Amino acid sequence: MVHYAKFNYKTASLASDFGFDLAVKWFGKETIDALPKFKKGKKVGKAKGSILWKKVFKGGWVKTGSYDFETETADGYVEQRVNKIIGKCLLIETWGGLPEIIKTEGDLESSTQEEISDYLQCSWI
């Protein structure tokens, strides 16, 4: 019986104190200061954008390819970094479009804009 790894995707807005402090810790003050700022409303002067991170919820098998029936082998690896953040992404969300990715680290580096957009939709559930 196979036990598959489970991951959580979480987000935080840079307009919140938590999100801003975490983004500065992960990506540096210079990167965050270079982002556009809100010009009106209750968030005036705060950075636009958000951060997304991938965290290992439960360790197990991660399938990375298809099963080869001739050699009876599967492509993948065992994820053992339980409760660790393994991927980080700084982005600016756009209304009705794909997010603009500013910077990525870890497992999210190879993700496309479409995949990041899917992770954003899943993180609110």
Alpha-carbon gap, residue 56 to 6, rounded angstroms: 6
Mean pLDDT for 47-75 is: 87
Return the domain boundaries, the chain: 6-123
Please state the rounded mean pLDDT for residues 47-53. 93
Residue 27 has pLDDT above 90, yes or no: yes
Check whether 114 has a pLDDT greater than 90: no
Q: d(Cα 50, Cα 61) in Å, to the nearest integer?
A: 30
Residue 17 has pLDDT above 90, yes or no: yes
- Which of these, 73, 71, 27, lies nearest to 49 by C-alpha position? 27
What's the pLDDT score for residue 1? 77
Confidence of residue 122 (pLDDT cuts 50, 70, 90): low
Please give the pLDDT value at position 125.
43
